[in-house]
A and B are shown apart, each in its own frame.
Chain A
């Protein structure tokens, strides 16, 4: 079959999803696809649009995936459809089609009030809109939002973050009228007003007034009040973009939108519609999930499938202005004879409502405000029996909402369509913990809200999730930390005698060494502590595969003087060390024998260096870009901050290694978002990101706090690190630690920003102790003959260097000479053979 032409009008989230879905189903590329996009940028995540004000960049919002055989014409909107000739026209040319998919989305509805076109009045739909709002807000004090729905409240929060005092005007008698009921709306209003956002409910905006400069100045309301507003955002709903279809003579829905049937096909067999512009059986859906469903239907149909629109799932869970709000199923109780069970707690400010069938046996829907922790279980139970007694389900924390009571068909992870049955099968197949379930079923890998349910399902299946550290301790690292801290234990032998068994091992000993170091127990090689350390911490250098060590002098922030650079060169030359620049802006010197280590450190210490932790579960480096001192884009002194942070946290022992970086502007040259704690400069301060890492499972750090002063930034990092050190499991990096935390990033914020556990003073003091007690571990060894005795080749032949360490020369530098034996399946003949790169041979 020869190729056919497909034109897609629109490159929003749904248009993009459609192309992705089609490409997945049409690997031979039967369809040649042209996408015509009105905006100048490819598809981005409009659901997370407001994250733009939290410092999330355009790039991060991008959801566009390029595909072979798909032409994307950005900034080239379709202007007409000629159905007779099957041609779409743009300002540039014509595109013939065998199939046409309309994915034109919606436009913001602006009520026809006088002044709606004044300067300073905005809508809230595109990144350009948000950029314009941000630019206009600068230097202004008061703003207002017309519309108190989901988008209106997001816009109100955006204005708040831009420093504007904000009013919200909503025509309905409550906020978020579509999603919540009157009582839920009242609870939501209390939260919103507490944040300083004033609400005006049950009133219309009758006019938008201009000031002396001709720009917007105030809103006039239907009750006669006047609200000052130097900036107005209109978020009064959306309307489908159906003007092309209308002009082409296609039938529309009763309230607009391209009328399509359950296969998403219009009255013209060659024309389909997806997303917000489609009126499926007459109804337009303004949420992304039903939009995605239409995209999948059309993609399936275009390759000969028989998919139909499954009905719209309007369940919503979101956090608006810091408040959890969820709505699912028949939230407003419109089913004949249905019953309500409501729960209101003014003290904790939690509101919840369940809508039940007339026999109170079947859950039909519900509303949650203030605490939506029961949402995943409840949503999965809609249409089935209640998983527990209603009051138990509604109690704060969803204590009674146990996933163990769900039927096998209930959807546990709605992002990836994983049912309880799928999870149970995976558990039966051997998945014994949440990470295994994630890898096997994909449940919990998108929004993560179902992770608590995964734990409950593991419990329900009787899978004991042992937290024992090893055979010597039955408790986890976190519990061990508390035991050591509270009981004041300072030796491994006492700890294992009182709280464990046996002699310890290579798992628990380094853990205990790390805990003791975190609690300020002197030099890591003091007394019995020395016997607990991994070989790297025992010799304060990095063991290499041939038994030699590498030394990495500390170069805080990657800043180094020419004199010091020369010293490193001289040391490397004199000890014949292989020299390599690392990824952490340091210089690694390889091939040092054990007995050479103190001699090398002596040279470094004398030149004003200390050696550095390129090993161990400790702070490694704080990378930086050059920052505002030199860079014409830089807005803060990133090097200065990186140096200060590296010096502050050096020597800090942790459950896993810690990496950091500081970028001097949003261009992010220091790659701070791949670090455990990354800092990116803003015009007014610093944004802090946490939980990033490279390595085996790369992860970008999440934005934690914005526009911090240097002092506030350091205080937050202090607490972040100390809380991590106290509560993480062994070898759990900050990313996994946050992911595993009940409540995730919000919980972390509550603990270290709002001090919800009353721990902050303690964490601050612990970090102050660390900073005050830091001393150069390598110099301390040089100053102590007892410790120095360790650095000998042979206890009975200290003058004989280890004969097994020998070197060959490769690219002008020493490298291990020995062909090391190995039991790994590595063909010996590939080892250290010249590799042909197909380059011409260079003759000297």
Chain B
């Protein structure tokens, strides 16, 4: 299965619609994206927890590990690097990360598909 890769930025929601230090799910071109607005900035990764297959990462607790901004899966607590999507607990495990920015008070996302 493959998704259309958008090369453009997609407007998602006003920045103040995102709860600080918490995630929210967004649907961008059929892809579930987990968006986070933390003190370290805006982050976007796949919403799908690769361990369980459930679309729940946006509901995890955000924080930091050794200075790296993180989110923990709400199902089984594996921790992911919000900047890269890399799982810090399970070597080799990762989720896709996407580009995100705030433009004129609106959060935008650009999907990335690698490999």
Q: Taking beta carbons and an 8 Å cutoff, which residues of A are in contact with B?
A: 471-472, 502-506, 508-510, 528, 530-535, 538-539, 543, 545-547, 789-790, 793-797, 800, 802, 804, 818, 820-823
B5 at the interface (CB under 8 A from A): no
Q: Which residues of B contact A508 (CB under 8 A)?
A: 63
Q: Taking beta carbons and an 8 Å cutoff, which residues of B are in contact with A?
A: 12-13, 17-22, 24-28, 32, 35, 38-40, 48, 50-56, 59-67, 69-70, 72, 74-75, 77, 79, 90, 93
* 24 sampled A-B residue pairs with Cβ under 8 A: A472-B63, A503-B40, A503-B64, A505-B72, A508-B63, A530-B22, A531-B21, A535-B59, A535-B61, A538-B22, A538-B59, A543-B56, A545-B52, A545-B75, A795-B12, A795-B13, A795-B24, A797-B26, A802-B32, A802-B55, A804-B32, A804-B48, A820-B53, A822-B51
Q: Which residues of A contact B38 (CB under 8 A)?
A: 503
Q: Nearest A residue to B59 by beta-carbon distance?
A: A535
Q: Are the C-beta atoms of B69 and A795 separated by less than 8 Å? A: no
Q: Are the C-beta atoms of A547 and B60 separated by less than 8 Å? A: no
Q: Are the C-beta atoms of B51 and A471 separated by less than 8 Å? A: no
Beyond the given A503-B63, A530-B22, A533-B61, please list 11 additional residue pairs across the A-B interface where CB-CB is below 8 A.
Answer: A503-B64, A505-B61, A509-B61, A510-B61, A531-B22, A539-B59, A547-B56, A795-B25, A796-B28, A820-B52, A822-B52
Neighbour of A531 across the interface among B13, B19, B54, CB < 8 A: B19
Q: Are the C-beta atoms of A506 and B54 separated by less than 8 Å? A: no
A16 to chain B, nearest CB (A): 45
Q: Which residues of B contact A794 (CB under 8 A)?
A: 25-27, 32
Q: Which residues of A contact B75 (CB under 8 A)?
A: 543, 545
Cα distance, A545 to B20, chains bound together (Å): 26
B33 to chain A, nearest CB (A): 9
Q: Which residues of A contact B59 (CB under 8 A)?
A: 535, 538-539, 543
Contact A823/B51 with A503-B69, A545-B75 known, Cβ cut-off 8 Å = yes
Q: Which residues of A contact B55 (CB under 8 A)?
A: 547, 802, 804
Q: Are the C-beta atoms of A547 and B64 separated by less than 8 Å? A: no
Q: Which residues of A contact B39 (CB under 8 A)?
A: 503
B36 to chain A, nearest CB (A): 11
Q: Are the C-beta atoms of B53 and A822 separated by less than 8 Å? A: yes
Grouping DSSP codes into helix (H, G, I), strand (E, B) and loop, the A interface class, with mixed when no group exceeds half, is loop
B72 to chain A, nearest CB (A): 4
Q: Nearest B residue to A513 by beta-carbon distance?
A: B61
Contact A795/B74 with A471-B65, A823-B51 known, Cβ cut-off 8 Å = no
B24 to chain A, nearest CB (A): 4
Q: Which residues of B contact A820 (CB under 8 A)?
A: 52-54
B108 to chain A, nearest CB (A): 11
Neighbour of B12 across the interface among A471, A506, A546, A796, CB < 8 A: A796
Cα distance, A820 to B13, chains bound together (Å): 30
Q: Which residues of B contact A545 (CB under 8 A)?
A: 52, 54, 75
Cα distance, A508 to B61, chains bound together (Å): 10
B22 to chain A, nearest CB (A): 5
Cα distance, A502 to B21, chains bound together (Å): 13
Cα distance, A546 to B75, chains bound together (Å): 10
A470 to chain B, nearest CB (A): 9
Cα distance, A528 to B38, chains bound together (Å): 12
Cα distance, A750 to B61, chains bound together (Å): 40
Q: Which residues of A contact B63 (CB under 8 A)?
A: 472, 502-506, 508-509
Q: Nearest B residue to A818 by beta-carbon distance?
A: B53
Q: Which residues of A contact B22 (CB under 8 A)?
A: 530-531, 538
Q: Are the C-beta atoms of A543 and B35 separated by less than 8 Å? A: no
Cα distance, A796 to B25, chains bound together (Å): 8
Q: Which residues of A contact B60 (CB under 8 A)?
A: 506, 535
Q: Nearest A residue to B48 by beta-carbon distance?
A: A804
Q: Are the C-beta atoms of B61 and A534 separated by less than 8 Å? A: yes
Cα distance, A44 to B22, chains bound together (Å): 58
Cα distance, A333 to B31, chains bound together (Å): 84
Q: Are the C-beta atoms of B27 and A797 separated by less than 8 Å? A: yes
B67 to chain A, nearest CB (A): 7
Contact A795/B20 with A505-B79, A506-B63 known, Cβ cut-off 8 Å = no
Cα distance, A502 to B38, chains bound together (Å): 12
Cα distance, A503 to B50, chains bound together (Å): 24
Q: Are the C-beta atoms of B27 and A531 separated by less than 8 Å? A: no
Cα distance, A215 to B90, chains bound together (Å): 78
Q: Are the C-beta atoms of A506 and B77 separated by less than 8 Å? A: yes
Q: Nearest B residue to A536 by beta-carbon distance?
A: B74
Contact A796/B26 with A505-B79, A530-B19 known, Cβ cut-off 8 Å = yes
Q: Which residues of B contact A804 (CB under 8 A)?
A: 32, 48, 54-55
